[in-house]
Structure formats: structure tokens, C-alpha cells
């Protein structure tokens, strides 16, 4: 484990040596200096975990050193050492960003407590930064799955939209990944350190949704027994994602429009105006142009929301992405479930690619999870996919989508010998052609496997592996 570096600065040689001795431990790397300028050279690379400095020193005093050190590393905790006569100056140093101060004369125990607290604070800051970066990486475009041209266009639109504060309207069918796009935009925006707050406009009635968005005061309506902070306030400084905004009541649409224009609102039951700084992302699976024609959506609100438009294509329009998506879900659910399933046979993948996926990526994820949970072998076979797809709502209704008739062929009865042959071929390939290992996986003798392969090869139905 790397040692934590502490830079100690004091022009009093005895005090500096005493601190170096008191803090000497295997987990710490101690560096002592008599001048602030010397310490700044040591601090320049950002590797220090703590600066412990005297207040009164020649050439550069402790407060000046504090400012310069914090300029080099804003997260560096600084503990000041001061005599009784300079307590007011120490308090001023706290205002400048010092983490703590100790008053001279002090015991080794007092310094030890201050140092441990400061180092723990530094660890928490580093851990928090790491977690934020990991979260951002999770939603970087490189982690989106989509090599198709239509998805590459979406990625480029996200890259361009993210750095701005403009409202983004995300279009796409249900299950196509609209919320993931919203998260990616927020994660790459200057607001990424602030909250991303989501509200599903389709899941709440008009009255409840108004309270969710703007909050309410105690007694504003029956059951309002205490003040409630709304989503706009929660998202202040960050991003508010209005999912399925097209389902919002017309009256509430007008109130939302005012907030977008004025950037202020009142809680339900209050006359106090609250100003907020919120970026709006909105989504819908409906055609808002038609909704405007039908009188169910305000045209002025549409133009306010539709500053930047990102349209997610349905999965049936980017089938080239299905193999990568299927393997991603395979790896994800295999790990979560501790399953022995580790691959998809070519025939099974063909069926996945031919299906139209009316439920889009969400439906594909659901099917893959079911295949992993119910799978008994190491390879997903065609019959398993056919049986799984036959349980989807689209298949039960007799059509896979309004765009094709593939559901009619979701389940295709095939001869047992054909299914067995494909299963054996796939297993043999994943065992790198080692027949002994393949026979063990299949639960049959090596001789039985050899006889089967010879029979199929003689008939020209099995490749030479």
C-alpha cells in the first residue's frame, strides 16, 4: 500500500524535528522543510496527502503558503500550527480553506488527532472523486453498445449537446434507451457533480405530478401534513429529466412552460417565489407534432423543449447491433446469476437477429435474462430462444410488431437431429476442437461423440473442426 505523504513546514528546527519524530510510522512518508518556497516545490506534483505548516515564518508566512498550496491542489488538507497570540489569524486561515489548526504548545497526541482527521478527510475526497469518475465512465459513449450508423449519429448528437445548458428532447419508442441517453448527457455535462433528478410524467395524475415537480406547503391540500420539496428544487444546479412529458396534463403544461421561461416557481399552497438553475431533458415515445394537432400538447411548450432533438432508432432499424447487445446482456446476467451459460450458438443468434423486437432493447434484455436464468447448458441453443420468444406479449398477440410478420415464425419446429447437430458443433468450437472436453461437457462418451460427428460429416452436414 502506498504511503501517504505529509509535508511539514516550520522554521524552528527543534519543532520540525519533533514533529517528524512524533509522526514517524510505516504508513507515512514525511518531508520536512524550513521555508515555504521549498515546500511548494515538493507539493508541485500533487502527491502530498497533507500539509502541516507553522503560521509565522520568514519570507512566506503560513497563510500565503496555504493559498499557494491549495492553488496547486484544491483538495489538499492543510493543518496550521499557531501560538496563542495569533489565534485570530488562524481563524482567518480557516476561512481561506485550512482544514484545522493546533495551538502551540501542543502535545504529540493533539497533533496526531489533527493529522488523522485531515488524512481521513483526504481519503474521503479521493474516494468520492473516484466514484464520480467511475459513474461518468459508466455512461461514457464508449460504453454504449451500437456500431450501426444510426447509433453513431446519436452518439455524436450527445457529444455536441452535453456541454451546453440547452434543453434536449429525446425521442424514441418505449424501451429504446431514452433514460440512458439522458444519463449520458448529464454525466458528460458541466453539471455532472450535481444531481440528475428524474420524474415519470406518465405515472402520476396531474395533481400529484404538480406537487412532485414544484413541491407543496403544509396544509396545501388534504393529506399535506408537512412541507414537501419538489423535483425542481432537488435538481437545482443539476439536471431534471422529464420522462414521457407528452403525458402531462394541459394545465400543468402551462405551469411548466412558465418555469422554463422564468426559471422560477411557487410551491403548491405558497406565494413565495423560488428561483432555480436547472437544465431540462425531456423524452416521449409519442409523436408530439400529432399531439399538437390533436390539441393534447401545447405548441409553445414543444418549441421550448425541442431546442436540441435526439432521436433513438428502434432496435429493428439497427439489427447489426443485436449480437453485441446480446453478448453484453449474456455477460451481465451470467455474472449476476452465477450461471454456467457462457455463449450463444450461431443458430440462436440468427433467431435473435431476425426478430423485430417491438419492446426494443428492454425486451432483448428481458429475453436474455430469462435465457440465462433458465439455461442448463453452457451454450444457448435455437430452441431455447424460440421458446423464450414465444412467451413475449407480441408473440402471444400473434405479431412481433406492426412492422413485420416475424412473430409467426418465432417458433419453428425442427428435427431433433438438426438441433443436436448444431448443439454439438457449437460446443465443440467452444472447447477449441478438443473432443474429450466436448464429450465431458455434453455428458456423453468420447466414442459416442466421435460416432455422431462421423455420421454427420459423411452426410456433408458437419464441418471439419
Contact status, residue 270 vs residue 224, Cβ threshold 8 Å: no
> Looking at the DSSP assignment, which residues form a beta bridge with residue 103?
82
Instruction: Convert the pLDDT of each residue in 141-178 to its tens digit.
Output: 655 788 899 999 999 999 999 999 999 999 999 999 99
Q: What is the pLDDT of residue 403?
A: 38
Cell of 357: 423486437
Q: What is the pLDDT of residue 164?
A: 94
Task: Please state, in angstroms and rounded to a whole number, the distance separating the CA atoms of residues 465 and 457.
Answer: 10
Q: What is the pLDDT of residue 404?
A: 40
Backbone angles phi, psi at 303, to 5 degrees: -70, -30
Give the C-alpha distances (Å, rounded to integers) separating 34 from 37, 47, 134, 261, 278: 9, 20, 40, 58, 49
Q: What is the pLDDT of residue 43?
A: 93
Answer yes or no: do 269 and 400 share one domain. no
Answer yes or no: do 180 and 291 share one domain. yes
What is the number of structural domains in the chain?
4
Contact status, residue 115 vs residue 23, Cβ threshold 8 Å: yes
Cell of 309: 432533438
Q: What is the pLDDT of residue 132?
A: 65
Backbone angles phi, psi at 408, to 5 degrees: -65, -20
Closest-CA residue to 333 (of 367, 363, 356, 357): 367
User: What's the CA angle centered on 290, arms 289 and 295, to 5 degrees?
Assistant: 100
CATH number of domain containing 434: 1.10.10
Task: Please state, in angstroms and rounded to a whole number, the distance separating the CA atoms of residues 226 and 142.
Answer: 45
Q: What is the pLDDT of residue 170?
A: 97
Identify the segments of the chain with pLDDT beneath 50: 398-411
Answer yes or no: do 59 and 179 share one domain. no
Answer yes or no: do 125 and 73 share one domain. yes
Answer yes or no: do 169 and 303 share one domain. yes
Burial 314-345 (b: 16+ CB within 10 A, else e): bbbebeebbbebbebbbeebbeeeebebebbb
The half-sphere exposure of 166 on its side-chain side, counting CA atoms within 13 A, is 17
Of 372, 395, 413, the domain-final residue: 413
Task: Please state, in angstroms and rounded to a whole number, the distance separating the CA atoms of residues 42 and 94.
Answer: 23
Residue 170, H or E segment: strand 168-171
Task: Please state, in angstroms and rounded to a whole number, the distance separating the CA atoms of residues 112 and 118.
Answer: 10
Answer yes or no: do 268 and 248 share one domain. yes
DSSP E strands in 47-157: the ranges are: 48-54, 78-83, 100-104
CATH number of domain containing 104: 3.40.50.2300
Count of other CB atoms within 10 angstroms of residue 419: 16
Instruction: Give the strand pairing for 4-9 and 379-380.
Output: unpaired
Cell of 431: 472447447
CATH number of domain containing 260: 3.40.50.300
Q: What is the pLDDT of residue 423?
A: 80
Answer yes or no: do 196 and 279 share one domain. yes
Q: How does the average pLDDT of the chain come out, rounded?
A: 86
Answer yes or no: do 185 and 265 share one domain. yes
Cα-atom radius of gyration of the chain, to the nearest Å? 32
Answer yes or no: do 280 and 340 share one domain. no
Residue 41, H or E segment: helix 36-43
Answer yes or no: do 294 and 372 share one domain. no
Residue 362: partners with Cβ closer than 8 Å, 6 or more residues away: 174, 175, 176
Answer yes or no: do 130 and 71 share one domain. yes
Domain that residue 64 falls in? 4-135
Task: Please state, in angstroms and rounded to a whole number, the distance separating the CA atoms of residues 9 and 32.
Answer: 6
Closest-CA residue to 9 (of 75, 55, 70, 46): 55
Instruction: Convert the pLDDT of each residue in 212-226 to its tens digit.
Output: 999 998 888 878 888
Give the C-alpha distances (Å, rounded to integers) separating 330 from 108, 176, 355, 366, 442: 57, 18, 18, 11, 21
CATH number of domain containing 374: 1.10.8.60
Answer yes or no: do 405 and 429 share one domain. no
Instruction: Give the strand pairing for 239-243 and 264-266.
Output: unpaired
Of 76, 106, 135, the domain-final residue: 135
Of 311, 344, 367, the domain-final residue: 311
Task: Please state, in angstroms and rounded to a whole number, the distance separating the CA atoms of residues 361 and 318.
Answer: 11
Instruction: Convert the pLDDT of each residue in 305-340 to its tens digit.
Output: 999 999 999 999 999 999 999 998 998 888 888 888
Cell of 217: 406547503
- The torsion defined by the Cα of 239, 148, 309 and 198, in degrees rounded to 10, comes to -30
Q: How would DSSP label each residue in 241-300?
A: EEETGGGS-HHHHHHHHHHHHHSEEE-BT---EEE---EEEEEESS-HHHHHHTTSS-HH
Residue carrying C-alpha cell 492553488: 71
Amino acid at each position: 500500500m502506498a504511503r501517504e505523504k505529509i509535508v511539514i513546514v516550520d522554521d524552528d528546527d527543534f519543532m520540525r524535528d519533533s514533529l517528524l519524530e512524533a509522526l514517524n510510522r510505516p504508513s507515512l512518508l514525511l518531508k520536512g522543510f524550513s521555508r515555504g518556497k521549498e515546500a511548494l516545490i515538493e507539493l508541485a506534483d500533487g502527491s502530498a496527502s497533507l500539509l502541516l505548516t507553522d503560521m509565522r515564518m520568514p519570507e512566506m508566512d503560513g497563510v500565503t503558503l496555504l493559498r499557494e498550496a491549495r492553488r496547486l491542489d484544491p483538495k489538499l488538507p492543510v493543518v496550521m500550527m499557531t501560538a496563542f497570540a495569533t489565534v485570530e489569524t488562524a481563524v482567518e486561515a480557516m476561512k481561506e480553506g485550512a482544514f484545522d489548526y493546533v495551538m502551540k504548545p501542543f502535545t504529540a497526541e493533539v497533533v496526531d488527532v489533527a493529522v488523522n482527521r485531515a488524512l481521513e478527510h483526504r481519503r474521503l475526497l479521493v474516494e468520492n472523486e473516484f466514484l464520480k469518475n467511475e459513474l461518468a465512465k459508466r455512461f461514457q459513449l464508449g460504453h454504449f453498445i451500437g456500431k450501426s450508423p444510426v447509433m453513431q449519429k446519436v452518439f455524436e448528437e450527445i457529444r455536441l449537446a452535453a456541454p451546453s445548458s440547452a434543453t434536449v428532447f429525446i425521442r424514441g419508442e418505449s424501451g429504446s434507451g431514452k433514460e440512458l441517453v439522458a444519463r449520458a448527457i448529464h454525466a458528460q455535462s458541466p453539471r455532472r457533480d450535481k444531481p440528475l433528478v428524474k420524474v415519470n410524467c406518465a405515472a402520476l395524475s396531474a395533481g400529484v405530478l404538480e406537487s412532485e415537480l414544484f413541491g407543496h406547503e403544509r396544509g396545501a391540500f388534504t393529506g399535506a401534513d408537512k412541507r414537501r420539496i419538489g423535483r425542481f428544487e432537488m435538481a437545482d444546479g443539476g439536471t431534471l429529466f422529464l420522462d414521457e412529458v407528452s403525458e402531462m396534463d394541459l394545465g400543468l403544461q402551462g405551469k411548466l412552460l412558465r418555469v422554463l421561461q422564468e426559471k422560477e416557481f411557487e410551491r403548491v399552497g405558497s406565494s413565495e417565489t423560488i428561483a432555480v438553475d436547472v437544465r431540462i431533458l425531456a423524452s416521449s415515445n409519442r409523436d408530439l407534432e400529432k399531439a399538437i394537432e390533436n390539441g393534447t400538447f401545447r405548441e409553445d411548450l414543444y418549441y421550448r423543449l425541442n431546442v436540441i432533438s435526439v432521436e433513438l432508432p428502434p432496435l429493428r432499424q439497427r439489427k447489426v447491433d443485436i449480437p453485441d447487445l446480446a453478448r453484453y446482456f449474456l455477460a451481465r446476467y451470467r455474472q449476476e446469476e452465477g450461471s454456467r451459460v457462457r455463449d450463444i450458438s450461431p443458430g440462436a443468434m440468427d433467431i435473435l437477429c431476425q426478430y423485430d423486437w417491438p419492446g426494443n432493447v428492454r425486451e432483448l434484455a428481458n429475453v436474455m435474462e430469462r435465457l440465462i436464468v433458465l439455461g442448463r447448458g453452457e451454450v444457448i441453443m435455437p430452441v431455447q430462444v424460440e421458446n423464450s420468444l414465444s412467451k413475449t406479449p407480441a408473440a402471444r398477440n400473434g405479431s412481433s410488431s406492426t412492422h413485420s410478420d416475424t412473430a409467426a415464425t418465432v417458433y419453428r419446429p425442427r428435427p431433433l437431429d438438426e438441433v443436436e447437430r448444431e448443439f454439438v458443433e457449437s460446443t465443440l468450437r467452444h472447447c477449441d476442437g478438443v473432443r474429450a472436453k466436448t464429450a465431458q461437457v455434453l455428458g456423453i462418451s468420447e466414442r459416442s461423440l466421435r460416432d455422431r460427428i462421423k455420421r454427420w460429416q459423411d452426410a456433408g452436414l458437419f464441418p471439419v473442426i
